[in-house]
A and B are shown apart, each in its own frame.
Chain A
Amino acid sequence: MLGFIIQRFLQAVVVMAVMSVIVFCGVYAIGNPIDIVIPPEATEDIRAEAIRRLGLDRPLYEQYFIFVGNLLQGDLGRSFVYNIPVLELIGGRLPATLELVLISVVSATVLGVSLGIYAGYRPDSWVSKTIMAVSVLGFSVPSFWVGLILILFFAVHLGWLPAGGRGDTVEIWGVAWSFPTLDGLSHIVLPAANLALFKLAMMIRLARAGTREIMLTDTIKFARAAGLSEATILRRHLLKLISIPIITVFGLELGSTLAFAVVTETIFSWPGVGKLIIDSITVLDRPVMVAYLIIVAFLFVTINFVIDLVFALIDPRVRHGASA
């Protein structure tokens, strides 16, 4: 087990190192931020001074080592535009995004798994067929368009829910959160629903496929023969058996939802990291772009690592396969 953990951990470190090189080169090798940071009427001296101050006159590999050195000390540089440490900038926006992502992924999983198990348990009922048809829709419709329709219907037409912003927030441990207040909650419903829809479709399909397969296995036949009630079988045996792929996807989706939040946050003017990165891209604020990508990569790698560990805990085959 320990060997397995170490092996996976080393893999994660290598992936992070590779990612940092790719991201750094990708972002720094192209384009010239000087034109954005320095006003065009500036003299040559001011230009040269600014280039030196930002460290842009050094060779690329030197810039990279300085960057990694700072990175390891928790310093991701300063934003060219806001002139505050990037980590502070992103940290200030991160709670809004995390809140949105967690609410949508958790609700998509709970709802999707329940609907999926039902659809797999009674595949021929019309309810199941409706569920599946809706899930196909969730896959094909671009998420930004769903966002528009949600705003059009619930905010403009019915006027029930606000179309954008975060609403009232409450400070918990010095961080502002929207979900504890009624107003904040009403602001979060539409963006969370928008973000959850695609995940919901995927969870339904996964849970349905797993249920259909597992209901035919001997495990279920024996459980029935032992006289367990259907509810107990579903809860105790089925749920456990379909949980492995679902946990994987849950983890992966957490990461990809973080990325997709870019679109949702733009539509609903949700002041999270996604909106920050779009703004930074349009003004070529490199430190923010690099930091965002590194943080997302880090989250991805960490999530994958945790999933592997959880896997090993649930499934003895994974554990023994690695140590053998």
Chain B
Amino acid sequence: MSNTSTPLRRFWAEFRENKIAVVALVVVVVLILLALFASLVSPQNPYDLANLSLMDSRRPPGFVGTGGYTHILGTDPQGRDLLSAILYGLRISIQIGLAAGFVSLTIGTTLGILAAYVGGRVEALIMRLVDLQLSFPAILLALVIVALLGQGKAQLIGALVAAQYAYFARTAYGAAKAERGKDYIEAALATPLSARLVVWRHMLPNCTPPLIVVATVQIANSISLEATLSFLGLGLPVTEPSLGMLISNGFPYMMSGRYWISVYPGVALIILIFAINIVGDQVRDQFNPRLRK
């Protein structure tokens, strides 16, 4: 190891020791890259109707279609190459997961820190609301909100944010509340620095570790929740099929034994969620002082 030991490097050195977590991280990065460059790596553009032929529909994995190449994972009812559809679907799922995760992170953290910093009535009001919401299952909230707002990307992200910001608010509140009572914050407030600057420069950085952990878990949860909503037909419009919708499209064909249309998108979804969760677990363990040797 080099002599310049920054916190990030130390963190990475420790992360590297867990081989499973490293593999999971590689999987996440590869999946994100595949999703980013879906249009370059996939064998066909699954949403260009000119590429599709009904002759090729519902073919099993390994079938050589009219396009002249092998459909490694088979084709769906519209004759799409399933591998291509999965890569494009991955893109949408990751996009939604990240967007919902970051918006809820921002809103939740702001509310949580505001409650901890201001205290009094504001604190009581915000935290009561958050606790009330946490006692309700996220899926139910998301379901109702999506139903009310209608279908679309923005609406779906809105529903996911509404269902999940409370987790961030709770975490940020807990961390900020603990920091608020410490001497360094009192000392910083005693200087002519503005309160906003103290919160932003001193309080927030000390609240980040637990927030990062919650963020990884919640991004995985958003992806899973989005897939569930799309599966129920309440997610994205048909023009933007995420992994959940691909699974839903294949569901009616499963009874007749054409399993691949549903199963492979599902496998992709699970690998993604599982890998994110393993990375999140490792990060949590590294941030947890009680597990330190």
Binding site for B on A (CB under 8 A): 15, 18-19, 26-27, 30-31, 136-137, 139-145, 148-149, 151-152, 155-156, 163, 252, 255-256, 259-260, 262-263, 266, 277-278, 281-282, 284, 289, 293, 296-297, 300, 304
Chain B 189-204 interface 0/1 with A at a Cβ cutoff of 8 Å (1 = within) = 0000000000000000
A137 to B271, CA, bound (A): 11
Complex partner residue of A145 from B149, B233, B266, CB under 8 angstroms: B266
Q: Which 10 residue pairs spanning A and B have beta carbons closest together?
A: A281-B147, A259-B137, A259-B140, A256-B137, A142-B224, A30-B148, A145-B266, A140-B274, A140-B277, A144-B231
Complex partner residue of A281 from B143, B254, B273, B277, CB under 8 angstroms: B143
Number of interface residues of B (CB under 8 A): 35
Assuming A26-B145, A140-B273, A277-B143, what are 11 further A-B pairs, CB within 8 angstroms? A30-B149, A31-B150, A148-B247, A156-B255, A156-B257, A252-B135, A278-B232, A282-B147, A282-B233, A289-B147, A296-B140
**Which partner residue on chain A sits nearest B141 by CB separation?**
A259
**What are 12 A-B pairs at a CB distance below 8 A?**
A27-B148, A142-B228, A142-B273, A144-B228, A145-B227, A151-B254, A256-B137, A260-B137, A281-B143, A281-B234, A293-B140, A304-B135
Complex partner residue of A163 from B150, B220, B255, B259, CB under 8 angstroms: B255
Q: Is B132 touching A18 in the complex (CB atoms < 8 A)? A: yes
> B136: CB under 8 A from chain A?
yes
Q: Is B232 touching A26 in the complex (CB atoms < 8 A)? A: no
User: How many A-B contacts at CB < 8 Å in the complex?
Assistant: 99
Residues of chain A lying within 8 A (CB to CB) of residue B269 = 142, 145
Binding site for A on B (CB under 8 A): 132, 135-137, 139-140, 143-145, 147-150, 220, 224, 227-228, 231-234, 247, 251, 254-255, 257, 259, 262-263, 266, 269-270, 273-274, 277
Q: Is B274 touching A300 in the complex (CB atoms < 8 A)? A: no
Q: Is B139 touching A259 in the complex (CB atoms < 8 A)? A: yes
A260 to B137, CA, bound (A): 8
Grouping DSSP codes into helix (H, G, I), strand (E, B) and loop, the B interface class, with mixed when no group exceeds half, is helix
Q: Which of A18, A155, A259 has the most CB of B within 10 A?
A: A259
**Which partner residue on chain A sits nearest B146 by CB separation?**
A281
**Which partner residue on chain A sits nearest B136 by CB separation?**
A300
Q: Is B137 touching A289 in the complex (CB atoms < 8 A)? A: no
Give, as a whole number of angstroms, the nearest-CB distance from A150 to chain B.
11
**Which partner residue on chain A sits nearest B259 by CB separation?**
A152
Residues of chain A lying within 8 A (CB to CB) of residue B135 = 252, 300, 304
Residues of chain B lying within 8 A (CB to CB) of residue A18 = 132
**Which partner residue on chain B sits nearest A143 by CB separation?**
B228
A145 to B220, CA, bound (A): 15
Complex partner residue of B266 from A31, A148, A266, CB under 8 angstroms: A148
A300 to B136, CA, bound (A): 8
Q: Is A266 touching B254 in the complex (CB atoms < 8 A)? A: no
Residues of chain B lying within 8 A (CB to CB) of residue A26 = 144-145, 148
Complex partner residue of B247 from A27, A143, A145, A282, CB under 8 angstroms: A145
**Which partner residue on chain B sits nearest A142 by CB separation?**
B224
Residues of chain A lying within 8 A (CB to CB) of residue B139 = 259-260, 262-263
A281 to B150, CA, bound (A): 10
A304 to B169, CA, bound (A): 22
A87 to B115, CA, bound (A): 40
Residues of chain B lying within 8 A (CB to CB) of residue A27 = 144, 148
Q: Given contacts A30-B148, A140-B274, A281-B234, is CB(A152)–CB(B263) below 8 Å?
A: yes
Complex partner residue of A263 from B136, B150, B228, CB under 8 angstroms: B228
Residues of chain B lying within 8 A (CB to CB) of residue A266 = 232
**Which partner residue on chain A sits nearest B281 by CB separation?**
A136
Residues of chain B lying within 8 A (CB to CB) of residue A263 = 139, 228, 231-232
**Which partner residue on chain B sits nearest A296 by CB separation?**
B140
Q: Is A148 touching B262 in the complex (CB atoms < 8 A)? A: yes
Q: Given contacts A148-B247, A256-B137, A278-B232, is CB(A289)–CB(B144) below 8 Å?
A: yes
Residues of chain A lying within 8 A (CB to CB) of residue B259 = 152, 156
A19 to B263, CA, bound (A): 39
Q: Which of A140, A143, A255, A304 has the most CB of B within 10 A?
A: A140
**Which partner residue on chain A sits nearest B135 by CB separation?**
A300
Give, as a whole number of angstroms, the nearest-CB distance from A241 to chain B.
21
Give, as a whole number of angstroms, the nearest-CB distance from A274 to chain B.
10
**Which partner residue on chain B sits nearest A19 by CB separation?**
B132
Q: Is A262 touching B143 in the complex (CB atoms < 8 A)? A: yes
Residues of chain B lying within 8 A (CB to CB) of residue A149 = 263, 266
Residues of chain A lying within 8 A (CB to CB) of residue B143 = 262, 277-278, 281
Residues of chain A lying within 8 A (CB to CB) of residue B270 = 140-142, 145
Q: Is A15 touching B148 in the complex (CB atoms < 8 A)? A: no
Residues of chain B lying within 8 A (CB to CB) of residue A296 = 140
A144 to B228, CA, bound (A): 7
Q: Given contacts A27-B148, A140-B270, A142-B227, is CB(A148)–CB(B254) below 8 Å?
A: yes
A282 to B228, CA, bound (A): 15
Residues of chain B lying within 8 A (CB to CB) of residue A281 = 143-144, 147, 234
Give, as a whole number of angstroms, the nearest-CB distance from A269 to chain B.
11
A232 to B263, CA, bound (A): 47
A140 to B267, CA, bound (A): 12
Residues of chain B lying within 8 A (CB to CB) of residue A151 = 254-255
Complex partner residue of A293 from B144, B254, B266, CB under 8 angstroms: B144
